[in-house]
């Protein structure tokens, strides 16, 4: 399996991050990268997940530029959840 960048992780490492991520959105992002590392296109992944392919490519670019921690979901505002 190919890596996204020189210091990148293997497909298996991306899959592990997807399975262990605390938030569903983080899991979705890591799983999308895992699927792309296996040969799928952003269009295919977008179609399967209901996401715009450009959004999927944005995740890839963010991962390449700043590493895996940029894919971790961070709450950006609004009311706090009622239940944790």
Taking phi over 0 as left and psi of -120 to 50 as alpha, with beta for the rest, 21 belongs to: beta
Q: What is the pLDDT of residue 4?
A: 55
The answer to whether 50 and 20 have CB atoms below 8 angstroms apart is no
Confidence (pLDDT) at 74: 80
pTM of the model: 0.79
Measured distance CA(10)–CA(8) in Å, rounded: 7
| Residue 48, pLDDT score | 96
Residues of the chain with pLDDT below 50 are 1-3, 6
CB-count exposure of residue 30 (10 Å: 0-12, 13-18, 19+): buried
Show the tokens assigned to 61. 């670019």
Tokens of 23: 């938030």
Task: Quote the pLDDT of residue 84.
Answer: 62
Contact indicator for 6, 33 with CB cutoff of 8 Å: no
């Amino acid at each position: 399996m190919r890596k996204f960048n020189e210091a990148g992780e293997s497909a298996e490492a991306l899959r592990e991050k997807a399975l262990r991520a605390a938030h569903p959105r983080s899991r979705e992002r890591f799983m999308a990268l895992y699927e792309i590392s296996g040969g799928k296109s952003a269009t295919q992944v977008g179609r399967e997940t209901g996401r715009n392919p450009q959004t999927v490519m944005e995740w890839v670019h963010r991962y390449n530029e700043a590493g895996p921690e940029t894919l971790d979901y961070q709450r950006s505002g609004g009311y706090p959840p009622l239940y944790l």
